[in-house]
Amino acid sequence: MAPTIVWLHNDYRLRDNPALFHAAMAGPVIPLVVWAPDEEGDWAPGGAHRWWLHHSLTSLAVDLESRDSTLVVRRGDSLDELLDVARETGAARVYWNQRYEPALRTRDLKIEAALRDADLQVKTFQSALLHDPDEVRTNAGNPYRVFTPFWKKCRSIIDVASPLDEPAFNASTDLPDSLAVDDLELLPKIDWAEGIRERWSPGEAAALKRLEWFVDEAITTYDEDRNRPDLDGTSMLSPHLRYGEISPRQIWNGVLNEHPDDEGARSYLSEIGWREFSYHLIYHYPHTTEKPLNNRFAAFPWSDNDTHLKRWQRGNTGYPIVDAGMRQLWHIGWMHNRVRMIVASFLTKDLLIHWHEGARWFWDTLVDGDLANNTQGWQWSAGSGADAQPFFRIFNPVSQGERYDPDGKYVRKWIPELSELPDKYIHKPWDAPDDVLSSSGVQLGADYPDRIVDHSEARTKAMGAYENLPRN
The residue from 51, 355, 363, 380 that is catalytic is: 355
Reported confidence tier of residue 349, pLDDT bands at 50, 70, 90: very high
Lowest-confidence segment of 155-164, 313-322, 355-364, 383-392 by average pLDDT: 383-392
Q: What are the pLDDT digits (tens) for 91-120? A: 999 999 999 999 999 999 999 999 999 999
Percent of the chain at pLDDT exceeding 70: 99
257 and 331 share a domain?
no
369 and 453 share a domain?
yes
The residue from 166, 213, 274, 430 that is catalytic is: 274
Q: What are the pLDDT digits (tens) for 399-447? A: 999 999 999 999 999 999 999 999 999 999 999 999 999 999 999 999 9
317 and 236 share a domain?
no
Q: How much is the pLDDT for 174? A: 78
The residue from 166, 253, 337, 417 that is catalytic is: 337
Q: Mean per-residue pLDDT for 308-319?
A: 98
| Residue 100: CATH number of its domain | 3.40.50.620
Contact assessment for residue 324 and residue 434, using Cβ atoms and an 8 Å cutoff: no
* Cβ atoms < 10 Å from Cβ of 261: 7
Q: Mean per-residue pLDDT for 176-181?
A: 96
The distance in angstroms from the start CA to the end CA of the chain is: 61
Whether residue 167 lies inside any domain: the answer is: no
Q: Is 337 annotated as catalytic?
A: yes
Q: Mean per-residue pLDDT for 340-359?
A: 98
Q: How much is the pLDDT for 172? A: 63
Q: Mean per-residue pLDDT for 366-384?
A: 96
> Which residues have a Cβ under 8 Å from the Cβ of 210 and sit 6 or more positions away?
235, 236, 237, 240
Q: What type of residue sits at position 314?
A: R
Q: What are the pLDDT digits (tens) for 189-203? A: 999 999 999 999 999
DSSP string, 453-471: S-HHHHHHHHHHHHHTSPP
Q: Is 380 annotated as catalytic?
A: no
Centroid of chain to Cα 370: 3
The residue from 166, 263, 302, 417 that is catalytic is: 302
Query: What sign for the dihedral angle of Cα 441, 443, 446, 451?
Result: positive
The residue from 112, 166, 271, 402 that is catalytic is: 271
276 and 317 share a domain?
no
Given a cut of 70, whether residue 328 has pLDDT beyond it is yes
Given a cut of 90, whether residue 387 has pLDDT beyond it is no
Q: What are the pLDDT digits (tens) for 245-267? A: 999 999 999 999 999 999 999 99
Q: How much is the pLDDT for 472? A: 63
Percent of the chain at pLDDT exceeding 90: 95
Q: What's the CA dihedral at 239, 245, 251, 253 to 10 degrees?
A: 170
Q: For the chain, what is the radius of gyration of the CA atoms?
A: 24
261 and 313 share a domain?
no
| Tally of domains within the chain | 3
| Backbone φ and ψ of 74, nearest 5° | -130, 165
Contact assessment for residue 7 and residue 98, using Cβ atoms and an 8 Å cutoff: no
Given a cut of 80, whether residue 127 has pLDDT beyond it is yes
Q: Which domain holds residue 142?
A: 129-161+204-284
Q: Is 334 annotated as catalytic?
A: no
28 and 141 share a domain?
no
Given a cut of 90, whether residue 388 has pLDDT beyond it is no
326 and 244 share a domain?
no
Whether residue 254 lies inside any domain: the answer is: yes
Domain limit, last residue, from 284, 304, 335: 284
Q: Is 363 annotated as catalytic?
A: no
Q: What are the pLDDT digits (tens) for 446-457? A: 999 999 999 999
| Residue 332: CATH number of its domain | 1.10.579.10
Q: Mean per-residue pLDDT for 153-159?
A: 94
Q: Is 302 annotated as catalytic?
A: yes
Q: For residues 325 and 411, what is the distance between their CA atoms, to the nearest angstrom?
A: 8
Given a cut of 80, whether residue 466 has pLDDT beyond it is yes
> Which residues have a Cβ under 8 Å from the Cβ of 124 and sit 6 or more positions away?
19, 95, 96, 97, 98, 108, 112
The residue from 96, 252, 312, 378 that is catalytic is: 378
